[in-house]
């Protein structure tokens, strides 16, 4: 398997053949684009600027100046990243890619960069969709620090159900390290195969499960973070009330305060009992009310994903006016059918039509297969000049109807303005007792050569609508460089001052991921 330098995942897994034909025919039915295919440029043909720095002798073996390596680390994996790659538009590339073998290497790299005023971009799987790993600045050289060699599951404590894991481990390897113990982290973001524990922690990743433990934050027992001011290691504790929680400062710090090297993570027994169903609704308002009832029931479903009509049609093939709610329960310890039954009762109370479906053939299964292919399909669409991107937020239930209307309206207007026509979809990725996390998709015919500008215009419009409706600029995609204007308005002023001061204390030379979170 070879990783794609320009797009998602493995080259061999790209959408092609019948899958591509089927995808394009579905898109043709929805929009008026021409759907001409374009080939990605050969990575060797990119004329990258020469590195502006060279590493000291002792670190030379860790550092790569290979153009393909630098190109592959220049962007994250947002639609606008993929499109820029497809156009060979790599304005900012790291001068070097460094691969520390251990924490000592990392400390040495950080010392060198701090001394020489070189920006350091911590890099896990590089799956950022918010410009989090892009050296989008011109005032100094940049070294991308790829942590992929720190990839061990170092210790498993089966008594406390916790594991000490290095930050550079990718999802599948992490789970493989836990499986022999009958344990799982049970954190499956869509990027799971191509993102790392350290990346999840630094960006407050959201997993696949819809309720209870959604963000990675709650699964952290302790963390170890290398900063220019020293190594911060918190004590392994199941809970504490000793001052503000130290780990919470580093969770979501996006590489701007330090580089996470390892963490003790809370793990779980692997689920043995499962029950699932889908519920169809004739009316979206009723579907939302049913979803809210389940979210507030205290039943804690593993899946509670409301797909609106367009999302249901595109990704599960189900045609239904008001949407489909995918429900699933899982447990390692006890049967869950009673919980599903109670949740379905709540759905019926709101007019839902329940389908209990056999494992392997359910609407949820169909949806999950789509889910894992989505980033690959997005790339195929980008190559055919189709704008295909998502954005997400969270808000309280009382504001949802208004937010949904305002955001959908803003998205449709912007799509019309930049692309003529298109489709806007919505699903809930996570639901809380006090509100949902709506996740929107946009599909529209793009103009080859103009798609970044087209998307940026749509993104600005929806971000304004989200902010005006009281949503967060990101529930689980992080802030990076793309969300900064809205993040800066969302964040309380005194907190920004505190965070800036904390950054100055930890990173006095300001080398860590400049432009992320803090000016």
- Positions annotated as catalytic residues are 439
* Choice between 156 and 309, CB closer to a copy of itself: 156
Q: Consult the annotation and say whether 60 binds a ligand.
A: no
Q: In this chain, which of 25, 54, 285, 500 binds a copy of itself, going by CB under 8 A?
A: 500
The tokens of 294 are what?
């389940």
Q: In this chain, which of 80, 84, 350, 477 binds a copy of itself, going by CB under 8 A?
A: 477
Q: Helix, strand, or coil here: 310?
A: helix
H helix count then E strand count, the chain: 15, 18
Minimum distance, C-beta of residue 470 to a copy of itself, in the bound complex (Å):
6
Q: Consult the annotation and say whether 376 binds a ligand.
A: no
Minimum distance, C-beta of residue 415 to a copy of itself, in the bound complex (Å):
25
d(CA 347, CA 322): 13
Q: Consult the annotation and say whether 216 binds a ligand.
A: no
Q: In this chain, which of 3, 91, 179, 235 binds a copy of itself, going by CB under 8 A?
A: 235
d(CA 74, CA 481): 13
Footprint on residues 147-186 left by a copy of itself (CB under 8 A): 157, 159-162
Minimum distance, C-beta of residue 501 to a copy of itself, in the bound complex (Å):
4
d(CA 19, CA 437): 30
**Closest Cα to residue 132, out of 437, 476, 491, 506?**
476
Q: For residue 234, state whether it binds a copy of itself (rule: CB under 8 A).
A: yes
Q: For residue 227, state whether it binds a copy of itself (rule: CB under 8 A).
A: yes
Q: In this chain, which of 237, 282, 405, 468 binds a copy of itself, going by CB under 8 A?
A: 237
Sign of CA dihedral 223, 225, 229, 231: positive
Q: For residue 229, state whether it binds a copy of itself (rule: CB under 8 A).
A: yes
d(CA 223, CA 205): 15
Minimum distance, C-beta of residue 321 to a copy of itself, in the bound complex (Å):
24
Distance of CA 198 to CAs 154, 188, 339, 346, Å?
A: 14, 14, 34, 39
Q: For residue 225, state whether it binds a copy of itself (rule: CB under 8 A).
A: yes
Q: Helix, strand, or coil here: 203?
A: helix
Minimum distance, C-beta of residue 414 to a copy of itself, in the bound complex (Å):
22
Give me the helices (H) in 77-147, please.
79-86, 103-116
d(CA 132, CA 517): 10
**Span between the terminal Cα atoms of the chain, in Å:** 39
**Closest Cα to residue 503, out of 492, 490, 518?**
518
How many CA atoms lie less than 13 Å away from 202 in the CB half-sphere? Answer: 35
Q: Left, alpha or beta for 429 (phi > 0: left; psi -120 to 50: alpha)?
A: alpha
Q: For residue 475, state whether it binds a copy of itself (rule: CB under 8 A).
A: yes
Q: In this chain, which of 233, 353, 356, 357 binds a copy of itself, going by CB under 8 A?
A: 233
Footprint on residues 360-379 left by a copy of itself (CB under 8 A): none
Give me the helices (H) in 270-396, please.
284-295, 309-316, 337-349, 363-383
Q: Consult the annotation and say whether 259 binds a ligand.
A: yes
Q: Consult the annotation and say whether 360 binds a ligand.
A: no
Q: In this chain, which of 147, 478, 511, 512 binds a copy of itself, going by CB under 8 A?
A: 478
Q: For residue 232, state whether it binds a copy of itself (rule: CB under 8 A).
A: yes
Do the Cβ atoms of 197 and 205 come closer than 8 Å? no
Footprint on residues 398-437 left by a copy of itself (CB under 8 A): 398, 430, 432-437
Q: Consult the annotation and say whether 234 binds a ligand.
A: no
The tokens of 110 are what?
């950080």
Q: In this chain, which of 238, 358, 360, 361 binds a copy of itself, going by CB under 8 A?
A: 238
Phi, psi of 157 (to 5 degrees): -110, 95
Residue located via tokens 């019926």? 348
- Number of residues counted as binding a copy of itself (CB under 8 A): 97
The tokens of 253 are what?
């710090």
Footprint on residues 299-358 left by a copy of itself (CB under 8 A): 299, 331-334, 338-339, 342
Q: Consult the annotation and say whether 248 binds a ligand.
A: no
Footprint on residues 242-281 left by a copy of itself (CB under 8 A): 242-246, 248-254, 257-258, 266, 268-269
Minimum distance, C-beta of residue 494 to a copy of itself, in the bound complex (Å):
4
Distance of CA 187 to the CA centre of its chain: 12
Q: Consult the annotation and say whether 126 binds a ligand.
A: yes
Interacting span for a copy of itself (CB under 8 A) from 22-30, 54-62, 442-450, 495-503 = 495-503
* Choice between 380 and 431, CB closer to a copy of itself: 431
Residue located via tokens 């999302």? 311
Q: For residue 498, state whether it binds a copy of itself (rule: CB under 8 A).
A: yes
Binding-site positions for substrate = 378
User: Binding site: what residues are annotated?
Assistant: 122-128, 254-260, 378
Known binding residues for FAD: 122-128, 254-260
């Amino acid at each position: 398997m070879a990783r794609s330098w320009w797009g998602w995942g493995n080259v061999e897994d790209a959408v092609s053949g019948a899958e591509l034909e089927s995808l394009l025919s579905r898109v043709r039915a929805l929009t008026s684009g021409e759907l001409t295919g374009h080939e990605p440029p050969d990575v060797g043909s990119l004329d990258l600027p020469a590195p502006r720095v060279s590493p000291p002798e002792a670190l030379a073996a860790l550092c790569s100046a290979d153009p393909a390596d630098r190109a592959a680390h220049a962007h994250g994996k947002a639609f606008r990243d993929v499109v820029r790659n497809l156009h060979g538009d790599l304005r900012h590339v790291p001068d070097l890619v460094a691969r520390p073998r251990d924490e000592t290497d990392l400390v040495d790299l950080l010392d060198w960069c701090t001394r020489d005023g070189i920006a350091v971009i911590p890099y896990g799987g590089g799956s950022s969709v918010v410009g989090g790993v892009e050296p989008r600045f011109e005032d100094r050289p940049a070294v991308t620090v790829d942590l992929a060699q720190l990839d061990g599951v170092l210790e498993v404590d089966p008594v406390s159900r916790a594991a000490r894991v290095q930050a550079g481990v990718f999802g599948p390897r992490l789970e493989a390290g836990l499986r022999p113990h009958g344990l799982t982290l049970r954190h499956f973001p869509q990027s799971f195969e191509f993102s790392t524990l350290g990346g999840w922690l630094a960006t407050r990743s959201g997993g696949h499960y819809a309720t209870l433990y959604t963000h990675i934050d709650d699964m952290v027992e302790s963390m170890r973070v290398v900063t220019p001011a020293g190594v911060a290691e918190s004590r392994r504790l199941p809970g504490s009330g000793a001052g503000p929680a130290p780990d919470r400062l580093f969770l979501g710090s996006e590489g701007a305060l330090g580089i996470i090297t390892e963490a003790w993570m809370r793990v779980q027994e692997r689920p043995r009992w499962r029950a699932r169903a889908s519920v169809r609704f004739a009316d979206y308002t009723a579907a939302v009310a049913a979803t809210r009832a389940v979210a507030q029931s205290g039943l804690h479903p593993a899946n509670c994903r409301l797909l609106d009509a367009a999302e249901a049609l595109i990704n599960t093939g189900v045609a239904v006016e008001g949407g489909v709610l995918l429900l699933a329960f899982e447990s390692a310890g006890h049967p869950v059918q009673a919980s599903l039954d109670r949740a379905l009762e709540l759905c019926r109370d709101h007019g839902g039509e329940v389908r209990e479906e056999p494992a392997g053939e359910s609407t949820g299964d169909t949806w999950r297969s789509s889910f894992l292919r989505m980033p690959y399909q997005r790339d195929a669409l980008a190559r055919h000049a189709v704008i295909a991107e998502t954005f997400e937020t969270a808000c309280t239930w009382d504001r949802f109807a208004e937010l949904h209307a305002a955001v959908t309206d803003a998205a449709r207007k912007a799509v019309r303005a930049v692309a003529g026509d298109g489709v806007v979809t919505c699903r809930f990725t996570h639901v809380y007792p006090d509100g949902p996390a709506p996740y929107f998709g946009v599909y529209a015919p793009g103009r080859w050569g103009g798609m970044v500008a087209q998307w940026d215009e749509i993104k600005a419009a929806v971000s304004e609508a989200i902010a005006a409706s009281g949503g967060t600029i990101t529930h689980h995609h992080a802030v990076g460089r793309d969300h900064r204007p809205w993040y800066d308005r969302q964040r309380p002023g005194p907190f920004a001052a505190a965070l800036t001061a904390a950054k100055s204390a930890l990173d006095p030379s300001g080398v860590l991921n400049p432009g992320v979170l803090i000016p």
